[in-house]
A and B are shown apart, each in its own frame.
Chain A
Amino acid sequence: MRELRFRYAMELRFSEPVQEHRFTLRCFPQSGPRQSIGPTTLRLFPEVSVAWGGDGFGNVWAYGCVSPPHDRFSVEIAGSAVTGSAEREEALPPWREGRFRQQTALTRPGPAITAFHSALDLSGPPLERACAAMDALWRSFRYVPGSTDIYTTAEQAMAQGMGVCQDYAHILLSLCRLEGIPCRYAAGLLPGEGESHAWVDIYDGGCWTALDPTHDRRALDGYIRFSTGQDSAACSISRGIFRGFARQEQTIHAWVSEEEEL
């Protein structure tokens, strides 16, 4: 168990003013067996009211619209969380989690992943196989910031042998789905300072257990989960469309610590 304070700030700057800017934000951790979330504050600029959405599977999002012309859009959420309060979280019966066994456009294996998978010697219950696959992946894949982007598929990342946390997660999902194991993408935060993080939930024995393939370990203490879904596209922290021909630049600042922020 670990009590943490967190802050996630995202800013978009547009090269010229945009309007009718519609946004959906998925950066709202919810209390559950594995984490409990204290009071949070949300700040938006320009200041607009948001509406709330949820899917009944533990994901909550905010959506809204900035109508007048603006060249900056920022969001900041801050709060406290107790993490690692349970190792696992009860899932729905297996026939209801079947969609998480399906590959998606981002996880669909190609020659590189198929070859990697066939070289693995996996046996035992789902979690054991997933851990072995994670370990093998971690040994042969390199963490190289900037080597991929949000559209990179698991297969593309595997073929080039490097990527970031999103790619580790997609490849592990792809491998587990080849094994017929339901598994899902998780997006959220880790202690430290920088960007958001991504890991994987594995279905085993009627429960979800979190693995962090980027660090080759269970994801327990310190993991603050924003959302889960079939892949990163279902968990995108910020999605938006607007009117205008502006280029946009995004900056993210995530911060998680046991201390009060200075």
Chain B
Amino acid sequence: MQEEMDLYRHTDTVNELLARYGVKFGIYKDKTFHEQLFPFDAIPRTISAEEFSSLERGLRQRVDALNAFIRDVYGEKHILRDKIVPEEFVYASSGYLPICEGVTPPKGVYAHIAGIDLVLGKDGSWYILEDNLRVPSGASYPMIARELCRRASPKTFTGAHIEDNRDYAQLLRRTMDHVNTGGMTVVLTPGRYNAAYFEHSYLAEQTGAHLVTGSELRVEGDYLYFIGYDQRKERVGAVYRRISDEYLDPMNFYEGSLIGIPHLYDVFRKGNVALLNAPGNGVADDKGIYYFVPKMIRYYLGEEPILQNAPTYLPYYPEDMQYVLANFDSLVLKDVAEAGGYGVVFGSKMTAGQMEDFLRQLKAEPRRFIAQEVIDFQDIDIMEDGERVPRKADLRAFVLTGEETMVWKSGLTRFSRDPHSFIVNSSQGGGFKDTWIFSR
């Protein structure tokens, strides 16, 4: 404990260093761009070796099933034939892209980098809140925070058996190399005004990949090339892209995109470049599909799910709709089309008028919403004005799929600074902590 106290004294130093390194995130709200610091709290979340080992098995299982699902949905569709998932949940999902039909990415991997959000309930068990299989961000924050903490307070880490989390770069590199089709590996960023630009540059630097923007990449014939400032041309074999699907390629997706690479999807389709993550993954991290993930685990792997979902109801099913209407006050309702903590409402916090409007929407478009029990999750202490105060926090675990499925022995713990809020998303003004996994 003495060692920890030493670290807490350095919180301000660490935050100053983070600011100096440009560890910020930007958000668009009301059509304006705000860049904010991402406040770091030095009290780590700690997870025992034993607990982590069970988490690890559960996360690998989940991501394996999700990868199998995406492959199936864009291929043979056995899960639809066997009616485990209703067809309309797949096709009505905004993440389902018809263009991906029949396309198999290099080595058959769709979700290379998954960010799985969990919370620890007061009952001591972990619950999955959501799967992020498109462009999950956040690994760089605990990486650099750990680095800076070690510098600020070396003695905190000597003798404590904490897994070193700085190996994320190696895990990521292995994941990229596994699917590389021959050529350079690049990290594709939309540019310095992107919310996660710090992360893009940091991960590129740490993995030894080139940080590029769309204007430096070019499709010629069947291949993708990097065009250097001296017009040097080099083939690209793997793109860790931090641009969402719709902006990736103006010839195949949203035509107005200026940050994408024309015809990129055409060469991907031929198997001549790897895209991490593969386009089309949104079909599996849709909030409506979330309900079906335990069923996917049983269906594809023949195993019982190790990690559980938060109890979820689909108003699409009449019996679930009845339950939702009868227990409205105790549920949290989510619009499946929204992300980042937007479109999340608590039944108990609505005014009569809001509730009436909401119920009208719910009955008109039941497929658009899911309802979940509010999980009473364990608080974690943060330091505020020199005092320890409890706050809600979640954990984003990073699961990387290369030759094998690997769980990073750390994670991004996000907390809400507002003592009355359950929403921890950084876009809603939260802060973050390091996550320590004990090695024994």
Interface residues of A (CB under 8 A from B): 22, 24, 49, 51, 53, 55-57, 63, 65, 93, 95-96, 98-99, 101-102, 229-230, 234, 239, 241
Contact = CB atoms under 8 A, between A and B. Distances in A.
B262 interface: yes
Interface residues of B, number: 25
Given A49-B221, A93-B81, A241-B255, A55 B262 contact: no
Contacts of A234: 98
B218 to A, nearest CB: 9
Interface in B52-106: 76-77, 80-81, 87-88, 90-92, 98, 101-103
Given A49-B221, A230-B98, A99 B91 contact: yes
Interface in B403-430: none
A57 B102 contact: yes
Nearest to A55: B102
Interface in B249-266: 250-251, 255, 262-263, 266
B92 to A, nearest CB: 7
22 contacts: A22-B251, A22-B262, A24-B266, A49-B221, A51-B263, A51-B266, A53-B266, A57-B102, A65-B220, A65-B262, A93-B81, A95-B80, A95-B87, A96-B76, A96-B77, A98-B77, A98-B80, A98-B87, A98-B91, A99-B91, A229-B98, A241-B255
A63 B77 contact: no
Contacts of A102: 88, 91-92
Nearest to A96: B77
B271 to A, nearest CB: 12
Interface of B: 76-77, 80-81, 87-88, 90-92, 98, 101-103, 219-222, 250-251, 255, 262-263, 266, 269-270
A63 B220 CA distance: 10
B98 A99 contact: yes
A179 to B, nearest CB: 15
Nearest to A23: B251
A96 B102 CA distance: 11
Given A22-B263, A98-B91, A241-B251, A51 B101 contact: no
Contacts of B255: 239, 241
Nearest to A98: B87
A26 to B, nearest CB: 12
Contacts of B103: 55
B102 A63 contact: no
A56 B102 contact: yes
A63 B251 contact: yes
B203 to A, nearest CB: 29
A34 B77 CA distance: 26
Given A51-B266, A234-B98, A239 B87 contact: no
Contact of B101 (A53, A57, A65, A95): A57
A207 to B, nearest CB: 18
Contacts of B88: 102
Contact of A239 (B102, B221, B251): B251
Contacts of A229: 98
B365 to A, nearest CB: 14
A22 B261 CA distance: 11
A30 to B, nearest CB: 15
A96 B73 CA distance: 9
A65 B364 CA distance: 47
